[in-house]
Amino acid sequence: MKIVRTVCAHDCPDMCSLLAHVENGRVVKIEGDPDQPLTAGFACGKVNRDVDLVHSPERLTTPLRRVGKKGEGKFAPIGWDEALDEIASRFKAIIAKSGPLALLGYAYSAHQGLTNRGLPGGMFHALGASRLIAGTVCDSCCETAWEMTAGGVGGADPEAVVDSELVIAWGADLMAVNVHYWALVEAQRKRGLKVVVIDPRRSRTAQKADWHIPIRIGTDAALALGMMHILVRDKKVDRDYIARHTLGFDKVEAEVLPRFTPARTAEITGLSVADVERLAAMYGATKRVMIRVGEGMTRLAQGGQAGRAVCLLPGVTGSYGVRGGGALLLTAASCDLNYNAIRKPSGPTNTRTVNHLRLGEALLDMKAPRIEGLFIAANNPAVTNPEVHKTRQGLAREDLFTVVHDPFMTMTARYADIVLPATTYLETDDMFRAYGAYWMQYGPRAVDPQGQARSNVQVAQALAQRMGLADPVFRMTPSELLTELFKGATGKPGTVDTRTLPSAGPINIAPTTEGQIFKTPSGRLEFYSEQLAKQGGPPMPDWTPDPEEVRDAERWPLRLLTAPGYFQAHTAFSGVAFLRKREGEPICVLHPEDATRRGLKHGDKVKLFNQRGTVGLVLKVSDEVRPGVVLVPGQRPDAEAVSGTVNMLCSDRYTDMGEGATYQSTFLDVAAWS
């Protein structure tokens, strides 16, 4: 038995340090590394089962060529050389006929480290292909909102919660998506730390909190502005901090805050005036309040405004200057590595772009040239994209040559012409940096690739060489890629000797400076954003009813709330039978009043429907959601549901900032399945 000290690559803010127990070439046990303070010796309930992920009987073991219709899932095994030669020759033929813009590399992040995540995109960048604006299904809206507010810096250090007096989990179900931060928070409650959860749903975290505030979906900006109104009224504002570290508060105070009286805030948010007052009083009573900002509140039409308003709150009280205070959305921006060496080794400065969430539109409507060749890696857009029917319609095009590289036969892979078996993170060497904590770590492979699986780096390099690309990164060893990644790094990562990385274990990269640094154009926290004004966006935080949402709400009586499943946080976990079972069958949750009104009862098969489509799920009746809300946890593939997948109901409209997805701006109805 050997124990390999590695890193959890699942798309999760904690980035745990793991110990993989290996016997006879098989992972037999995974546990959290006790020597990494945040991991603190435990892995979550999903990753405890990663033995089943690596050795799942559902893993793809060989390259496959399609022999049935697109989407049908009929394939025959082929060899790697045959597959790679065919892909390269098809891509070359497409470039010769229509130019490189007819190719699209659609590689994303799922569940792997920095070089495996970056190099497939780097190959398409070097080819001058149509360029993916990645991450818009996920965090582009909240990232942009933060960037426009605080600049390219990380948020509060989660481990500083030992100095907090209050934690506000704002739209963040910590027990589902940030379990190690939650464990730290729980430990601090013994010394009196209070926990408030602001969430439309009474999540498990909300059930354990000191106070759950069941806010109406899409009104977070109004609540934050209402709190600011009260803080100003009650003279809980740190004028000295505002003068030294912020920009434009005077304009917000004069032009925006007067409209957010407690009464109006209560009316918008669906809360009582007393609760709005109480929350503002709690917030104003100490600077040591850490707001853990969830991303879900930004996945709707005015998500950027929500993210900005919430992240500006600590600027009103001067909480950003204090350890244990501030706001934590992401930490990744603080880790300044040479990502471009991997992601953009060469290629034209500008090409045509394709937004991640609008793959369907790109495949169906883009012309001069049409997309004729598509390479999808670490991504399952046939389930995770909004307007998923459009995505599938595009993938079904007979004149589209599609390659999918994935460990499992996903819904997307079923549409491929060639499917390539991918390694999981426990079969690759790579570098990892957390995006919700201040840690980085090298993660060596625990076992050899299963079957004939190959990593993204291997596939990108093999294809790049066949495509005639001469950039050195396509010939580098993993350790040379690592050296490249750290060239010119600043801050603590800049002090790292890459030769020692494989044995260095977890490296803490928390900034050592006192207080929060802002990297906006003004160097201050920007209540007023000139950048947003120049882009034609709203320069100041505000809340106004969104006209499309108002129109849809008049047509449909219910609003969709999506949230990560506890055991199916991503579709990548759907390859693990045990976790599928733990999560249970795909459900939707309705308040008892809404269920009764429709003559529905717990356990019924129901259809969720709107102008975009119909999805079949099993009904759970519970008051964990308010009347008027339908909660759907997880993005479960069709095969597990009664019918379809939830994103069939969601529009591919953009958010107000960052061109992100607006899943939570979906309105619908529910009826008995027929």
Task: Name the residues that contact ligand SF4, by CB under 6 A.
Answer: 8, 10, 12, 14-16, 43-44, 46-47, 179-180
Owner of token pair 């007067």:
258
CB nearer to ligand SF4: pick between 47 and 625: 47
Whether the upstream peptide bond of residue 369 has omega within 30° of 0, thus cis, is yes
End-to-end alpha-carbon separation of the chain, Å?
A: 54
**472 CB neighbour count, 10 Å cutoff:** 11
Q: Which two tokens stand for residue 434?
A: 């957390």
Give yes or no for a contact between 671 and 606, defined as CB atoms under 8 angstroms apart. yes
Candidates 471, 389, 376, 382; CA nearest to 419 is 376
Min dist. Cβ of residue 572 to ligand SF4 (A)? 10
List of long-range contacts for 358-361, beta carbons under 8 Å, 24+ apart: 358/387, 358/652, 359/106, 359/385, 359/391, 359/394, 360/385, 360/387, 360/388, 360/389, 360/390, 360/391, 360/392, 360/393, 360/394, 360/652, 361/387, 361/390, 361/394, 361/652
Q: What is the DSSP string of 60-95?
A: --S-EEE-S-TTT--EEE--HHHHHHHHHHHHHHHH
Q: How far apart are CA 354 and CA 334, in angstroms?
A: 27
> 103, 102, 94: which is closest to 124 by C-alpha?
103
**Cα angle for residues 477, 479, 485 (degrees, 5° grid):** 105
Nearer to ligand SF4 (CB atom), residue 109 or residue 149: 109
Integer Cα distance of 355 and 333 in angstroms: 21
Nearer residue to ligand SF4 within complex by CB, 428 or 529:
428
To ligand SF4, the closest distance from the beta carbon of 370 in angstroms equals 39
Q: Is residue 608 a contact partner of residue 668, using CB atoms and an 8 Å limit?
A: yes
Q: Which two tokens stand for residue 571?
A: 């579709």
Helices (H) and strands (E) in the chain, counts: 24, 27
DSSP letter, residue 319: G
Q: Residue 186 CB, nearest distance to ligand SF4 (Å)?
A: 14
Residue 542: phi and psi, rounded to 5, are -165, 170
Cα–Cα distances (Å) from 627 to 608, 609, 647, 666, 667, in that order, read 16, 17, 22, 15, 13
What does the angle CA 507 – CA 508 – CA 512 come to, to the nearest 5 degrees? Answer: 145
Closest approach, Cβ 44 to ligand SF4, in A, equals: 3
Q: Show the beta-strand stretches assigned E in 308-372.
A: 327-328, 353-355
Q: C-beta of 194: minimal distance to ligand SF4 in Å?
A: 24
CB of 38 to ligand SF4, least distance (A): 9
Q: Beta strand pairing status for 430-433 and 166-170?
A: unpaired
- Report the nearest approach of ligand SF4 to the CB of residue 140 (Å): 21
How far apart are CB 180 and ligand SF4 at their closest, in Å?
6
Q: How many CB atoms lie within 10 A of CB 638?
A: 18
Q: Which is nearer to ligand SF4, 121 or 633 (CB)?
A: 633
